[in-house]
Amino acid sequence: MQAPQGAYPQQPPQQGWGPPPEYGQPPQGYQQQGYGPPGQPGQLPGGMVPYGGSPSASGLMASLQSSSGPTRRDPVKTLMPIFVMLGMGFLFGILARIIPFLFLLSPLVGLADLACIVWLLLIVIPMINEVKVVTRTPDFAWWPLFIPIYNIVWAVTVLAPEVTKAKQMLGVQQPARPVVQYIFILPFALASDLNDMVR
């Protein structure tokens, strides 16, 4: 017995998915999106290049100078830890002669001097790293600052020539500060030379 026509709605014939696309080809209707803005496929935001890419030399130098290259600073302010340390010692010496029991506070003055030394290192070490960014000398390091007497020899024989080399690489005409400044006022001399290298 056959069912009357029209009793059941007829369904449209189902369309098959068809064969899979060939290997390595995107399906139809798919638009390949680049990482960067239109017209620059394969770039990450901010000018970065994905793994395996090679950034241009100009882009590398620009990012190097903007991130950790030489920065401008006030050379006199780099001597502030030394001024504070000398001022505290002078003031404490005068007050200790007037008020004898202040000698009991001498350990606190020692701690304050230690804090000023740490403050000075936090100023000088980044400046040394900025010189290293320019010269890219792998053996150039800041740890000799911690060795007494040798740090003076290192400042004269290693640091000052490295600053001269950095200036030559950047095409700076001004010569490096005199060696005497690197012996007695190293932060001031180094900051002044780095200011000459700022673009």
What does the pLDDT look like over 88-137, one tens digit per residue? 989 988 888 888 777 777 788 889 999 999 999 999 999 999 999 999 99
Question: pLDDT at position 95, please?
Answer: 86
8 A C-beta contact, residue 135 and residue 166: yes
| Biggest CA pair distance of the chain | 126
8 A C-beta contact, residue 175 and residue 164: yes
8 A C-beta contact, residue 156 and residue 43: no
What does the pLDDT look like over 55-80, one tens digit per residue? 444 443 444 343 467 899 999 999 99
Q: Closest Cα to residue 68, out of 137, 128, 142, 123?
A: 128
Look at the pTM and tell me if it is higher than 0.75.
Answer: no
What does the pLDDT look like over 140-150, one tens digit per residue? 999 999 999 99
8 A C-beta contact, residue 143 and residue 132: no
Return the DSSP state at 142.
S
* pLDDT tier, 54 (very low <50, low <70, confident <90, very high otherwise): very low
